Amino acid sequence: MRAPLLRLAAFAALAMFGAAHWSSLAASVPAGRTVLVVLVATGTAAVLVLLGAPAVRRRLTDALGARLAGTVIVDAALVAGAAGITLGLGAAGLPLRLLGPGNWGELFDGLDRGLAGIQAAEWPYAGPDQWLRRTILLGAPLLLGLAALLAFFPARRGAAVLRVAGLVCLLLVYGTAVTEHDPGEPLLRGLALLALVAAWLWLPRLSPRDALAGAGLVLALGALSLPVAAALDSEDPWWDYRAWSWFGDGKSITFDWTHRYGPLDWPRDGTTLLNVRSDRPHYWKAETLDTFDGLRWVRGNTSDASRDLQNLPDPSISGGAGWDYFEWNPRWDEDIRFTVRSLSTDLLVAAGTAYDVDGAGLVATAGDGTIRIQGAQLEAGDAYTINTYAPNPTARQMRGAPEDLPGTLTEYTAIELPGPGESALEPRDAIPVSGEQVRVPLWGGAAFGDPEAPRRALEQSVYGEMYGIATRVTADAPNMYEAVKRIESYLNDNFTYSEEPRRARYPLNAFLFRDEFGYCQQFSGAMALMLRMAGIPARVAAGFAPGSFNRDMSEYRVRDLDAHSWVEVYFHGIGWVTFDPTPPATPASTQAAGLAPAASPAGAINERRDGAAASERAAEGASSPAAETDQGLSAWLLLPVLALAGAALAVYLVVRRGRRLTPTELAAAQLAELGRALARLDWEMPAGTTLLGLERRLGRTAGPAAARYAAALRAHRYDPRSPVAPSLRQRRELRRDLTAGSGLRGRLRGLIAIPPGGPRPV
């Protein structure tokens, strides 16, 4: 038994090592739950060891024949493996009721939601989604149960291959966990893994003295390799696995940021596009859409490469006025590094208003900060750094911003109105005939010319109803910030998110007055247009939401799921500030990431992240698994574990059934057993029947095999020249004769009355 026990010990150690790292993928996992998962897997392995024990195989072969015995052992092993995996899933937190056929729909729906969320999960996951957390934790018992089944499967052929496959599963538990979430100290963890794998491979085969020598050698070699490994470890990877693809050179994804308002056709595969190293999250802007052409938001001619950056303070001025009466705020001046993964574009993704670029080649910077690469495109592996001015004001700062806006900002209250056309909601793709352009007077500023002309033009246009809503919602707002928040709240509270809007001649009218649903283009387009109608300088920005923050790498991971459109509003003395009217349930990737709240309570990112964090805290306090009081160790979950232990004990008792007896004791036990068996099987024996009489009676009524068993028993009891007890084969033939013609029920009664094995001799 030494070798199997050592194999079990090595399995348990490797399983605990991997499971402990796997549990770090979720926050606040009870240690008892992890230990229970490992105990279930080890118990499964122990049952498989007993099923493969030579004694069990011999007894089953004697009782059932070699072929049937092999089939029974394989079937029992598969059942034990399936039971172990099932109990392991329960130990990890899966309600076992979901495994019933009637609950498979709920199970598959939950797992599907969890697997989708894992694409954007942040490690360790601490969010409120129980199915996402549950799906993460279920990976460990699944792999550990499979490892136990493979490594200890009672197969005579291919056992070495299966054992290696089991080791691979164990290594996957550890390797997957540390790849997703780096726990630090990789060299020491690697040394521990080396020792455990060495114990798995060689410990069961070595004598105690050789095992100690081998352990010393492995540890010595591992210690000597530490300085070499440390020297080879560098920040620049030999092989960048994050940029690797299974097929060819990987994906190359492009985006067209112009608003079209049709069904969303952006890539939605979860492909990583960018890795961004930044001190705080931003909306990563690719292009500014500053012109409303009467139908949609497009990039106009108000910003071109020949103009200076608009509305950017002069960093050389400290304590005084810069452009447009800015004062340079060093806290909003940042260096951000971008690494391209699967994005192909000639637009440089940035944040805020970038004023310097390093590493992207020849670029042209437009007046609004949009940057275009000259004569080339960004491809996978490219990296660049931007210096940017990205305001991050509080609500108090925006409320107190001066409202004497510069007159040059009227270009951001300009609205192109469509010419005479058909019904505003008729589904047409044709662009309306260009009409007049109106410039709404700036908020709080004096109007030039006829102040009523823009109002009359808007009221009489196809956007008259939208203009009425914009003026009504912002009426009596005490300051520009409150007016912006009112329009944002109006859209957020009254319209729903959908990626399948219907086409219309005037899409933003259709969004507000017909469909009442849409995605980020509809929400941002409608908000920017309504802000301009209220005289507030606004424009649309397109690019990506912040994405998920990878704490291990200290960078943001931006995927195609994060493609987004939002609004920028100009505040005097501050600059362009981000607002996002799209409902907070989207984009899914950003919301699933569970970003920590920023220090400032205002602005689109700050408000969204504060709200998400508050809801997560409330949800965790109510029902999150992280706030459970170790409910995983409740009595209902211990019952299946006890059942598994009972199964292991039953198999062990089959092997060790009965104590070893002397020949005299064995003969007496066999006689008593035969008497009880005949009574249970309804064979009537007259009182005082001798063994010889029993032999003759069984020969006449049961069959020759039963008579031979009685003869062998009589010889063993009384003939000193025949000390050998009846064999297992003779017991099997006796049972067959006594239950012949009694059907399945009778044969089962025979197995109970005359079980395989029986009393054992010394």
For residue 554, the model assigns a pLDDT of 79
CB contact at 8 A, 25 and 625: no
pLDDT exceeds 90 at position 588: no
For the segment 725-729, the average pLDDT, to the nearest whole number, is: 78
For residue 572, the model assigns a pLDDT of 86
d(CA 65, CA 71) in angstroms, rounded, equals 10
Three-state secondary structure call for residue 538: strand
Report angle CA 361, 362, 368 to the nearest 5 degrees.
115
- pLDDT tens, position by position, 70-117: 888 888 889 999 999 999 999 998 998 888 888 888 888 788 777 766
For residue 749, the model assigns a pLDDT of 78
For the segment 530-559, the average pLDDT, to the nearest whole number, is: 88
Closest CA to 98 of 51, 56, 135: 135
- Provide the pLDDT confidence category of residue 230 given band limits of 50, 70 and 90: low
Closest CA to 42 of 166, 157, 137, 135: 166
For the segment 328-342, the average pLDDT, to the nearest whole number, is: 86
Strand 496-497 relative to strand 353-358, pairing: unpaired
181 or 462, which is more confident: 462
Percent of the chain with pLDDT over 70: 75
d(CA 436, CA 745) in angstroms, rounded, equals 95
For residue 430, the model assigns a pLDDT of 43
pLDDT exceeds 90 at position 488: yes
pLDDT exceeds 50 at position 613: no
pLDDT exceeds 90 at position 144: yes
236 or 474, which is more confident: 474
Q: Which range is least confidently modeled, 154-163, 446-455, 576-585, 634-643?
A: 634-643
Strand 555-559 relative to strand 517-518, pairing: unpaired
pLDDT exceeds 50 at position 474: yes
For residue 251, the model assigns a pLDDT of 64
- Helix, strand counts (H, E) of the chain: 23, 21
SS3 content of the chain, % helix, strand, coil (to 5): 50, 15, 35
Percent of the chain with pLDDT over 90: 25
For the segment 185-190, the average pLDDT, to the nearest whole number, is: 80
- pLDDT tens, position by position, 275-328: 899 989 999 999 999 899 889 998 876 555 444 445 565 444 333 333 344 566
Q: Which range is least confidently modeled, 413-422, 526-535, 542-551?
A: 413-422
CB contact at 8 A, 513 and 496: no
pLDDT exceeds 50 at position 160: yes
- In angstroms, what is the C-alpha Rg of the chain? 38
